[in-house]
Amino acid sequence: MSEAVGAPGLAGRVALVVPTLNGGELFGQALELWRAQAGVGTLELVCPDSGSRDGTLDRLRAAGARILSIPPRQFNHGDTRNRAIAMTRSEFVILSVQDALPLSTDVAAALVEPLARDRTLAATYGRQQPRPGCHPVLAERIGQWAGGHEPVVQELGERSWEALTPFERLALVRYDHVIACVRRSAWEAIRFETARFGEDLRWAARTIRAGGRIAFVPDAVVEHSHDRSAWDEARRIYCDHHNLRRTLGLIAVPGRENIRANVAAARAHYRKLVEAREDVDAATRSAWLRWAEELAVRENWAQYLGANLAHRWWFAPVDRWLRKGI
């Protein structure tokens, strides 16, 4: 990374909000890197915690954080972040997660500097780099959603939201609380919805539709990915596609008759991704192929159910079952 790019006078103007629950050693590493950030002064740190018992609270107290206790049953991705931001006083609030590891001491400055320079920006968000050993299917998805190496400013401009296709809308609302920074006044004007999932995309859509602007900052990089079962990944895809229809009108799998062809295409593509990796042994490649085969089937049903049935009242018991723990 380059030298710190912080604009003059950022000290005392930047807060960091990270929800925690038994963050472990990885969060300990991330916390130390956040405390070492250059160009922004000492970060005002607020962490909503949902009952950590592994030493996370001791780490937060030692770091001078203010801790907002949130019982696990009351945790909500939107409302919890609203409550935490309300406890801060800073003009700019960085939002991250406990398992996102900043890859330099310049991440905070890279996120904040565009906002300090351009008052028309409502928020910025950074680049995610998969961890070593991340499944190649997930690594590709992370790259498509939160990768790229060119800065981008997302705005509606003179266009009409209604005239855009759902995929054009999706490109406009790319924004992720794995690593982001929101201008306090923009958050005060449009707060996060009370949402168990996808509060970041929903906020971005409302902000863009209201004439706001969001910038992708590729120099703000965190290492972040998950090692989930194909079943759990599919459940998250189900939640995603419920949100995508609700927010953008996007329906990726309109009917069950589309699923067979989609599964076949996914299988072929995922096999190519796995077989292209030459840095793993035969056992890992075999495990990756089994995971990809399972996901190819489950994800297409997840996309179909999330977009087409999740909003129906009679589907509510299945919906609750699929969302449990997400």
pLDDT at 1 (0 to 100): 34
pTM as predicted: 0.94
Q: Token pair for residue 33?
A: 């890197």
Query: Is the per-residue pLDDT at 2 higher than 80?
Result: no
Strand partners, 213: 121
Cβ burial of 255 (10 Å; 0-12, 13-18, 19+) is: exposed
pLDDT at 196 (0 to 100): 85
Query: Is the per-residue pLDDT at 22 higher than 50?
Result: yes
Domains and CATH numbers, the chain: 14-223 (3.90.550.10), 230-323 (no CATH)
Query: Is the per-residue pLDDT at 24 higher than 70?
Result: yes
pLDDT at 253 (0 to 100): 97
Among 260, 258, 250, CA closest to 306 = 250
**For residue range 168-222, what is the model confidence (pLDDT) as tens digits?**
999 999 999 999 999 999 999 999 999 889 999 999 999 999 999 999 999 999 9
- 92/90 Cα distance (integer angstroms): 6
Among 54, 59, 14, CA closest to 181 = 14
Average confidence (pLDDT) over 268-286: 96
Among 299, 303, 240, 245, CA closest to 269 = 299
Strand partners, 127: 221
Query: Is the per-residue pLDDT at 164 higher than 90?
Result: yes
Mark 171-198 as b/e (b = at least 16 C-beta within 10 Å): ebbbbbbbbbbbbbebbeebbbbebebb
**For residue range 231-276, what is the model confidence (pLDDT) as tens digits?**
999 999 999 999 999 999 999 999 999 999 999 999 999 999 999 9
**For residue range 195-205, what is the model confidence (pLDDT) as tens digits?**
889 999 999 99
Report the 10 Å Cβ neighbour count for 152.
Answer: 12
Q: What percent of the chain has pLDDT over 70?
A: 98
Average confidence (pLDDT) over 37-56: 96
pLDDT at 204 (0 to 100): 98
Non-local CB neighbours of 90 within 8 Å, separated by 6+ positions: 12, 13, 14, 15, 44, 184
Contact 7, 112 (CB under 8 A): yes
